[in-house]
Amino acid sequence: MTTTLPPAATEALTDLALNPIRDRLGLKDGDLKGAALAGKRALDQGQALEALNIFRTLVLLDPLAIDPQIGLAEAALAGGLNELAMQCASVVVAQAPRRAEGYLLSGRAAMAMGETDVAQEDLAEAQRHAEEAGATDLAAEARNCLARLQDAV
């Protein structure tokens, strides 16, 4: 079943994507760095709900920005909101298909949801992209997740 949005809704979503709220408020990328750091700090301190609120706000300000989507996915995973994490990871993969983070987050969310085939595929992609980019920490995390996945099978 395919759902079609009314033309006005499609126009509004297109306008939001092309003219994010951040720009409408006169904010620049650097203006939001402090909030992103606060979100990361909250996540590091185990405050998933606080991190979720911060990154959700950053995503609302600029829905196509990759780093807030990554932060929101991390916070969602920490809070057990695996479907939200998968949605954010999908945005990252769509916007930056060569970045390992989107595949890694998607794989972790799929693992948490028990979708082992999806998890294995996404984690393998994450490892490949991380190795190509020389991101050894991301490659190691993807390998560790793949190993845990194999142990669970």
What is the per-residue pLDDT across 29-70, written as a single tens digit (0 to 9) for each? Answer: 676 788 889 999 999 999 999 999 999 999 988 888 899 999
Q: Is 75 in the same domain as 114? A: no
Whether the predicted pLDDT of 128 surpasses 70: yes
Average of per-residue pLDDT across 86-99: 95
Strands (E), 95-134: none
Let me know if residue 31 belongs to a domain. Answer: yes
The domain in which residue 121 lies consists of 97-153
pTM here is 0.83
Return d(Cα 124, Cα 100) in angstroms, integer: 10
Let me know if residue 88 belongs to a domain. Answer: no
Return d(Cα 76, Cα 144) in angstroms, integer: 20
Return d(Cα 107, Cα 117) in angstroms, integer: 9
Q: Is 77 in the same domain as 112? A: no
Let me know if residue 48 belongs to a domain. Answer: yes
Number of separate domains in the chain: 2
Q: Is 102 in the same domain as 148? A: yes
CB atoms within 10 A of CB 78: 17
Let me know if residue 86 belongs to a domain. Answer: no
- Please provide the average confidence, as pLDDT, over all residues in the chain: 88
By C-alpha distance, which of 132, 117, 72, 124 is closest to 103? 124
Q: Is 101 in the same domain as 153? A: yes
Q: Is 77 in the same domain as 103? A: no
Quick check: 41 and 33 in contact, CB under 8 A?
A: no
